[in-house]
Amino acid sequence: MRYLIGNVMASWLPRWLGRLYCRLYSRFGEDIFTVEDVERLVRSDVAARVALS
């Protein structure tokens, strides 16, 4: 889903990505986390790298 806001096209994040960001924030807050931390949450190195790209 996309929306035009002024001269900028905005899109909603995919649901799975929003949930992952929520889990990351719940766990780490404003602290630093690594790709390995994300891999442990999603149990996949490929999904972690896609989420952080």
pLDDT level of residue 13 (50, 70, 90 thresholds): confident
Q: What percent of the chain has pLDDT over 70?
A: 81
Contact 46, 37 (CB under 8 A): no
Given CA atoms 36, 37, 40, 41 in this order, what sign does their dihedral have? negative
- Both tokens of 22, joined, read 């929520």
Cα–Cα distance for residue pair 3/33, rounded to 1 Å: 31
For position 1, what pLDDT does the model report?
Answer: 57
| Residue 11 confidence (pLDDT) | 76
Residue 7 has pLDDT above 80, yes or no: no
Does residue 6 carry a pLDDT above 90?
Answer: no
Q: What is the mean pLDDT of residues 31-53?
A: 90
